């Protein structure tokens, strides 16, 4: 059976959200690079690509179910952070917001008894657990290094660690 109108709409909304996420990571990556955090910039740019892959995953699913993908404009990304702490907090807030959007898809698919979409959304439910945990881990590392009071030496060390962060899907 084809996607219902409300499910098609919420999935297209998610296509835009993933594109916006990619834009946010690009923007924060550009900020990190300009501040000299090459490792962090590299991590954020790689993650921007990951968000784009998420967008395409949702698009593929819409098309597979006989729906119509609608590509819209993307909102402006967040404004530049003041420091690394704020940068990571912005990323975390964004991921929490995305988790809510995924839960909205799960709820709607349950209401509509669209179990294929419900099942599809579970991949994202799991992904969000990983993404939130990853950012919390980065925030923890920064906290150990002294947070906003971290010395340049510890920030340099930390930045090198970010560069080594594993890529995901």
Can you give 22-34 as a three-state secondary structure string? Answer: HHHHHHHHHHHHH
Q: According to the binding rule CB under 6 A, does residue 54 interact with ligand OFO?
A: yes
Select from 43, 10, 11 the least CA-distant residue to 25.
43
Size of the site for ligand OFO (CB under 6 A): 9
Select from 87, 18, 83, 93 the least CA-distant residue to 54.
18
From candidates 95, 138, 145, 150, binder to ligand OFO by CB under 6 A: 95
Q: According to the binding rule CB under 6 A, does residue 27 interact with ligand OFO?
A: no
The maximal CA–CA distance of the chain, rounded, in angstroms, is: 58
Q: According to the binding rule CB under 6 A, does residue 159 interact with ligand OFO?
A: no
Stretch that binds ligand OFO, among 31-39, 71-79, 82-90, 124-132 (CB under 6 A): 124-132
Q: According to the binding rule CB under 6 A, does residue 21 interact with ligand OFO?
A: yes
Structure tokens at 152: 């340049």
Q: According to the binding rule CB under 6 A, does residue 131 interact with ligand OFO?
A: yes
Q: According to the binding rule CB under 6 A, does residue 43 interact with ligand OFO?
A: no
Cα separation, 53 vs 160, whole angstroms: 25
Q: According to the binding rule CB under 6 A, does residue 15 interact with ligand OFO?
A: no
CA-CA-CA-CA torsion sign (148, 149, 155, 157): negative
Q: According to the binding rule CB under 6 A, does residue 162 interact with ligand OFO?
A: no
- Given the complex with ligand OFO, which of 57 and 156 has the nearer CB atom? 57
Around 47, how many Cα atoms within 13 Å sit in the side-chain half-sphere? 30
Residues that bind ligand OFO (CB under 6 A): 18, 21, 51, 54, 95, 98, 124, 127, 131
């Amino acid at each position: 059976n084809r996607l219902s109108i409300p499910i098609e709409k919420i999935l297209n909304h998610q296509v835009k959200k993933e594109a916006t996420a990619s834009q946010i990571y690009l923007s924060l990556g550009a900020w990190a690079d300009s501040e000299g955090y090459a490792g962090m910039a590299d991590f954020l740019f790689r993650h921007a690509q990951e968000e784009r892959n998420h967008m395409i995953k949702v698009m593929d699913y819409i098309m597979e179910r006989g729906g119509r993908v609608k590509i819209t404009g993307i909102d402006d990304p967040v404004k530049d952070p003041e420091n690394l702490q704020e940068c990571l907090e912005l990323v975390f807030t964004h991921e929490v917001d995305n988790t809510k959007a995924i839960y909205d898809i799960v709820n709607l698919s349950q209401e509509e008894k669209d179990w294929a979409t419900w099942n599809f959304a579970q991949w994202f439910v799991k992904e969000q657990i990983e993404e939130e945990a990853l950012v919390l881990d980065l925030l923890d590392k920064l906290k150990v290094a002294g947070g906003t009071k971290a010395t340049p030496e510890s920030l340099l060390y930390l930045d090198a660690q970010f560069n080594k962060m594993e890529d995901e899907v």
